[in-house]
């Protein structure tokens, strides 16, 4: 058993055995740089030197009746944060225009809540049409929609349906009790059946173990998800997980490396929690750790990093933002 052997398998598209996975999980911290190096090579082999940038807008904020323990938008959270209904389509489209001018190629319209009423559904369709009209790929994170609804949005120009599984099926009841994991898996399947790119991943540092991390990665692979957001918990005061410690950078990098080996063909996008884990200047290591995309700008309820600094780091790492011309 060796890291190189696991790398060769992942590169050749062969599944890793249980023993390979156990070997990766047991890698000591001092071998994480080696894991990162090989994960980065896997990413270069599959995606070249492009880094896809996506930005999001908090299009409907707060007041969610679900009880996800990490989330400031849950009605059970005492966290401060914006509370508003769905923004007008024109406002969402204008935010997408600004994000596109800063290099984003995908624009995610993110709404709190699990269910979607008729009025908001029409609002999503109008916003999707507006963003698509700018030449950006509109992604939507609306909660749970069925296949017919997703197909209707696809006709309006929707490129991607975003619905995170958050963690493993085994650990999910410790994080959310108001809906079942199976509902989330069904939503992911509905998106795939509607012919959309489904972006589905999770949050790490919730208290889950390595078995949970592996379980979720293998489920995503078996579902055929090829875009996986990786978030790290940023404990928010007022939420049930406010007291959890932030993951150490080495553990976070090992998670990214593991996901690259288990999902060699999937875009792995680093999203929330980047700043608390890596600090404002810690961006370069993670760019050569296996990720192929970054969420840029602000997150749902917390501020992000300056986009121009991210782009400078991408170039310093010998990579290119995907939205820029080859000679730019
Ligand atoms: S993660 Fe989504 S479903 Fe869960 S509480 Fe937050 S807004 Fe609601």
Tens digit of pLDDT for each residue in 260-295?
999 999 999 999 898 899 988 766 788 999 999 988
**126 membership: H or E segment, kind and range:** helix 118-133
Residue 325 has what pLDDT?
33
Q: How many angstroms does the Cα of residue 90 sit away from the middle of ligand 1?
A: 25
State the CATH architecture for 29-321.
Alpha-Beta Barrel (3.20)
d(C-alpha 150, C-alpha 132), whole Å: 15
Q: How many angstroms does the Cα of residue 40 sit away from the middle of ligand 1?
A: 32
What is the per-residue pLDDT across 90-107, written as a single tens digit (0 to 9) for each?
A: 999 999 998 888 777 889
Residue 233 has what pLDDT?
97
d(C-alpha 220, C-alpha 112), whole Å: 23
- Residue 162 β-bridge partners: 199
Phi, psi of 248 (to 5 degrees): -70, 150
Average pLDDT, the chain: 91
What is the per-residue pLDDT across 207-221, written as a single tens digit (0 to 9) for each?
A: 999 999 999 999 999
Residue 114, ligand 1, Cβ within 6 A: yes
Q: Which atom of ligand 1 is nearest to the CA of 65?
A: 8
d(C-alpha 106, C-alpha 138), whole Å: 6
What is the per-residue pLDDT across 189-201, written as a single tens digit (0 to 9) for each?
A: 999 999 999 999 9
Q: Which two tokens stand for residue 207?
A: 């208290």
Residue 77, ligand 1, Cβ within 6 A: no
Q: Which atom of ligand 1 is nearest to the CA of 114?
A: 3
Phi, psi of 232 (to 5 degrees): -115, 140
Residue 200, ligand 1, Cβ within 6 A: no
Q: How many angstroms does the Cα of residue 64 sit away from the middle of ligand 1?
A: 6
Query: Nearest C-alpha to atom 4 of ligand 1 is from which residue?
Result: 68
Residue 284 assigned ligand-binding role: no
pLDDT band per the 50, 70, 90 thresholds, residue 162: very high
Q: How many angstroms does the Cα of residue 96 sit away from the middle of ligand 1?
A: 23
Contacts of 155 by beta carbon, 8 Å cutoff, 6+ apart:
none
Query: Nearest C-alpha to atom 7 of ligand 1 is from which residue?
Result: 112
d(C-alpha 294, C-alpha 321), whole Å: 10
Q: Which atom of ligand 1 is nearest to the CA of 71?
A: 6
Cβ atoms of 172 and 166 within 8 Å: the answer is yes
Q: What is the domain partition of the chain in residue ranges?
A: 29-321
d(C-alpha 316, C-alpha 24), whole Å: 29
Cβ atoms of 294 and 256 within 8 Å: the answer is no
Task: Say yes or no to pLDDT of 326 above 70.
Answer: no
Residue 271 assigned ligand-binding role: no
Residue 187, ligand 1, Cβ within 6 A: no
Q: How many angstroms does the Cα of residue 103 sit away from the middle of ligand 1?
A: 28
Residue 74, ligand 1, Cβ within 6 A: yes
Cβ atoms of 228 and 266 within 8 Å: the answer is yes
pLDDT band per the 50, 70, 90 thresholds, residue 297: low
d(C-alpha 251, C-alpha 213), whole Å: 12
Q: Which atom of ligand 1 is nearest to the CA of 176?
A: 4
Q: How many angstroms does the Cα of residue 311 sit away from the middle of ligand 1?
A: 30
Residue 327 has what pLDDT?
27
């Amino acid at each position: 058993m060796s890291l190189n052997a696991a790398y060769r398998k992942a590169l050749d598209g062969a599944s890793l055995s249980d023993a390979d996975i156990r070997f990766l999980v047991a890698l000591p911290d001092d071998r994480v740089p080696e894991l990162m190096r090989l994960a980065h090579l896997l990413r270069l082999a599959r995606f070249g030197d492009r880094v896809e940038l996506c930005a999001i807008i908090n299009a409907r904020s707060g007041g969610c009746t679900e009880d996800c323990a990490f989330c400031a938008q849950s009605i059970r959270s005492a966290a401060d944060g914006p509370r508003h209904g769905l923004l007008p389509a024109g406002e969402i489209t204008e935010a997408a225009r600004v994000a596109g001018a800063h290099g984003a190629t995908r624009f995610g319209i993110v709404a709190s809540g699990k269910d979607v009423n008729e009025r908001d559904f029409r609002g999503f369709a109008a916003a999707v049409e507006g963003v698509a009209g700018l030449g950006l790929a509109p992604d939507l994170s609306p909660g749970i929609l069925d296949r017919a609804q997703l197909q209707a949005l696809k006709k309006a120009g929707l490129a991607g349906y975003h619905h995170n599984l958050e963690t493993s099926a085994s650990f999910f009841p410790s994080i959310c009790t108001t809906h079942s994991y199976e509902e989330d898996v069904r939503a992911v399947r509905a998106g795939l059946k509607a012919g959309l790119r489904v972006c589905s991943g999770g949050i790490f540092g919730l208290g889950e173990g390595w078995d949970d991390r592996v379980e979720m990665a293998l489920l995503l692979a078996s579902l055929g998800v090829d875009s996986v957001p990786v978030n790290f918990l940023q404990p928010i005061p007022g939420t049930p997980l406010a007291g959890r410690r932030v993951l150490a950078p080495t553990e976070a990098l090992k998670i990214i490396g593991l996901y690259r080996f288990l999902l060699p063909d999937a875009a792995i996008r680093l999203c929330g929690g980047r700043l608390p884990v890596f600090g404002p200047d810690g961006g370069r290591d993670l760019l050569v750790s296996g990720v192929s995309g970054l969420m840029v700008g602000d997150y749902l309820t917390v501020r992000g990093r300056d986009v121009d600094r991210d782009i400078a780091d991408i170039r310093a790492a010998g990579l290119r933002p995907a939205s820029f011309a080859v000679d730019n």
